[in-house]
Every structure is written in C-alpha cells, then in structure tokens.
Structure 1
C-alpha cells in the first residue's frame, strides 16, 4: 500500500467535521471531549470457549491498552461505544465481569461511559442490572447526538443527517496486506472494529452494504501509528489496479 499522504499532525489525525480519526480506530471531538469507538466485542474468548475452543483471555487487556493509547493522543471525558460492546448476545458472567472491570478503569480516570446498543448487545440490560452499571455512571442508549452527529450502531436503517456508526468492520485488503479502515465523508463516519477479533468487511469487495457506498466516502486506513487517506472509495479499486471493486451507488 503506497498512498500519497501529507506529513505532520494532519496526516496522523484527519478531521471530519469536529471529529479527529485516530490510529486506534476511534474518533475524538476535542471541543466536546468525547471519544467514539465501536465493535469492542468484549468476551470474544468466552464466547469461543462456550463453543469448545480454547482461546486465551485477551479482549479486555487489548481494549484497555488501545483506550490508553487514545487518551495519550487526545484527552476525553466521555467514551461512547457505538454498539457491540460485547460478543455474545446471551448473558455471560465472565463477560459481565470484564465489562465491570472496563467500567471501573474508566471510572478511575473520570471518564463517563455511554453504551449504544448494537445487535450483539441484547444481554446488556440484564448484565447491567446484575452488575449495577447504571449506579457506576454508565448509560445505556439506543443512540446519542453529539454536536449534531447521531451516534448509532448501524445495524438498522441509517438516521438522516450526520451519522457515526460501526457494525460493518471495514478493512482494506490489498497487495497481500490487510488493515482496518474508516469510511468517511462530510455526513458519515463508519468506524473500524475496535476489536482485532472482528472479521473485516473488505471495502474492495464486489458488493458493499448500502451504508458503505457513495461517491462522498473516502477510505482512511489505520496503520496503528497513523491514519492514511487512500482517497475516494468509489475509485479506490481502479487506483490500486484491482479489476473488482465496490458496486456503484444504486446497483
């Protein structure tokens, strides 16, 4: 992958509206002191274990490490998880314990947590009641509006107006490499999965969900250290020399 990228801070933190796109896969609004991530899939290892697989515990540690890295780049007082904070849609005591530890880590740093419910999060109300999350300053919401942008998961029809969502786990696969990416335009930001376990949707696939189409969307790839702008999604395949590519809008 060899995109043309400018040097300096702007190359590391591209902006869409008031939001800055960070290499860890989240966005931060400096004026509002709000960070948004999506698709944490906490408890992935416990869900795999219930199916008979042996997977080391890792998702909580990875989540905390990435959040800590984000806070070193840009400070925030509120964290919004835009859906699928947990992996299993069924209640899981170990997942609930991990979520409680994540809440405690944020509480110790005086960061408010807002959980926007996604399609994996049907168990959240029961686990929240069991663990007492509301009493610990955690809110459960169907969606949230920050600076005119609606934050939602993305598994239902999109709300009109500027939207930040997750759900689709976009990645760019090219030249034998794979990297998480943002899809972003003037009124839409689709976040990459915060969890490295979440299978990615190849943005060069022949057909993409409607939310991932549109001439205004650009592909911004995270290397883990910076965010590189690969330009308009609609022409990305041609510029990378791929015969296939995303279906045109309306197809």
Structure 2
C-alpha cells in the first residue's frame, strides 16, 4: 500500500496514502472530513459551481480502503457531510454503496462542526469514542493523550504542490481531509503547528505516503509539550 507505520501511545498505526488511518490490531479504519454533498451545498447556497462527482469518488476510495484492510470497524471523524441537508440529498447509488459498506461491520459517525452525523444512514452517532486507549473526536483538545482527530484538513509541501497530510507526535494525530472536494490548512500554520511538539511528523498522502519531520519554525511562543516519541521516530 506504500503506507507509513507510526506509534501513538502504545498503538502502532498505519497512515494510508489515501488519507485513511488503519489500526490493524483493532481492525479499525478511520477517515475524517468526507464532506459529502459539498457540490450540492454550494449549488443550494451560491448556485452551481462544482461538478457533482465528489460523492462517488470519495465513497469509491473508501470502499477500496475497506476492501484492502478488511476492516471490522469504521470511524468517520466528523464533517461527513458538508451540512445536514446534504445527507438528505445524497444520490441513491451513493446511499446504496454506503449501506453496503456498513453491512457486517461496526460503523461510527462522530459529530462534526458541519453536521451532527447523518441520522438516517445507519451506524452509531457519537460525540467521541475511545477504542483501546485512543480517543477519536472531530476537533483536537488542548491537552490530549492518545487523541485522533480531524477538522483542520492539514496539508504540506515538500517540493512542488502541497499535499494533504497526517500530522502526529507522541500524544495526538490529526488526519487529512478524505473528501474529494476539500481544501486544507498548511501544517505550518501556527494554529495547527502549535498543537504539536517540536518533534512532530507529517505523512503526505498521494500515490505513495511520504514521512517527513515537521519543521518547528511556526511553533507558538509558549512552546510545545514534550512528546516522548521514541523508537524509529526518535
């Protein structure tokens, strides 16, 4: 899969090149910020501006990740739809595919700031959940330990155009946006970079996941926590 393995609070996680996070020991696949029906929401509020193809593209990629990992559980980390009305506008073929993906596995919708979770599309609807010592929520908190979140849509450029990326240190991991029509925030923006230790890492997504240390130049003046990230990332 050209993926990158990294440790987080005793767990070994895998950053997939698609932008999904895989916990092999728990059989759990996690994705964030699908933002399904973004083109529909834009058309509804501002007029047609985006071709309406993002839903199938996003769900087909998710289906491929589920098939590749054989995940028993799926967690969607919030902002699964661009707004709650979008869930009601999901095309019938995409709705059918989504229900097929849910069949035979645990499916959890985490509440986001764009939507509280699509209540009529199966699965469980939670503000957050802790699995094997890792807590999954939409937005990062001030003092995490084993936290996995989304919301910020991090991206980073090493050479050439910026790519969506995971960002992690010894206490937390923030996932990239998984949706086809999502923008992003630079991982070096002080709002985002300041959530992490001086020693933090990014995994860029794309055809191949690429691990890179995250530059510390944009850290907040107050300084980060000490991560204790060890082993291959020490």
TM-score of the superposition, structure 2-length normalised?
0.82
Change (3 A) 1:76 1:233: farther
1:137-192 alpha-carbon deviations (Å, 9 max, x no partner): x100000111100000016x346321000000000135441101110112211000
Corresponding position of 1:188: 172
Structure 1 residue 24: Cα displacement: 0.7
Would you say 1:93 and 2:88 are equivalent positions? yes
2:144–2:172 CA contact under 8 A, matched in 1: no
> Which consecutive aligned stretches of 4+ in structure 1 deviate over 6 angstroms post-superposition?
none
Would you say 1:19 and 2:1 are equivalent positions? no
Which of residues 109, 126, 136 is equivalent to 1:151?
Answer: 136
Corresponding position of 1:227: 209
Structure 1 residue 114: Cα displacement: 0.2
Change (3 A) 1:104 1:191: same
Residues matched between the structures, number? 219
Matches within 5 A, 1:144-223: 144-154=129-139, 157-158=141-142, 160-205=144-189, 207-209=190-192, 212-222=195-205
Greater Cα shift, 13-22 or 145-154:
13-22
Which of residues 100, 103, 109 is equivalent to 1:105?
Answer: 100
Q: SS state of the match for residue 145, structure 1?
A: strand
Structure 1 residue 61: Cα displacement: 0.9
Greater Cα shift, 90-99 or 38-47:
90-99
Change (3 A) 1:91 1:67: closer
Structure 1 residue 91: Cα displacement: 6.0
2:6–2:12 CA contact under 8 A, matched in 1: yes
2:75–2:107 CA contact under 8 A, matched in 1: yes
2:166–2:173 CA contact under 8 A, matched in 1: yes
Structure 1 residue 60: Cα displacement: 2.0
TM-score of the superposition, structure 1-length normalised?
0.77
Where does structure 2 lack aligned partners over 5 or more consecutive residues?
Answer: 224-234
Structure 1 residue 29: Cα displacement: 1.1
Q: SS state of the match for residue 162, structure 2?
A: strand
Structure 1 residue 39: Cα displacement: 0.3
Q: SS state of the match for residue 76, structure 2?
A: strand
- C-alpha RMSD of matched pairs (Å): 2.5
